[in-house]
Amino acid sequence: MALASTIGVLFDPYKIVIGFVTIEEAHRGLKISPEEFDEVAAELGRSLDFAKVPAREKGEILAAFAAHKKEVTAGYTTK
């Protein structure tokens, strides 16, 4: 069951939808490469370290982020 919030985000256990646009649709035109995604993930990890986020929580955050790599990089094509 999806729940709508006041900011236009639907929470669905199977698909994250932002403003009624999927993550894949929102990022497709940006053509983010897998390498760029990985660097953003690494920067997120460094930021969590700087904020002294405990290892368990850091792992959970990074795993949640990594779970969407395929969707975020779907618009990327090799040249």
pLDDT in tens, 36-71: 999 999 999 999 999 999 999 999 999 999 999 999
Burial letters 7-42, b for 16+ CB under 10 A, else e: eeeeeeeeebbeeeebbbebbbeeebeeeebeeeee
User: What's the mean pLDDT in 5-29?
Assistant: 67
pTM of the predicted model over 0.85: no
Q: Looking at residue 26, what is its pLDDT?
A: 85
The chain-wide mean pLDDT, for the chain, equals: 83
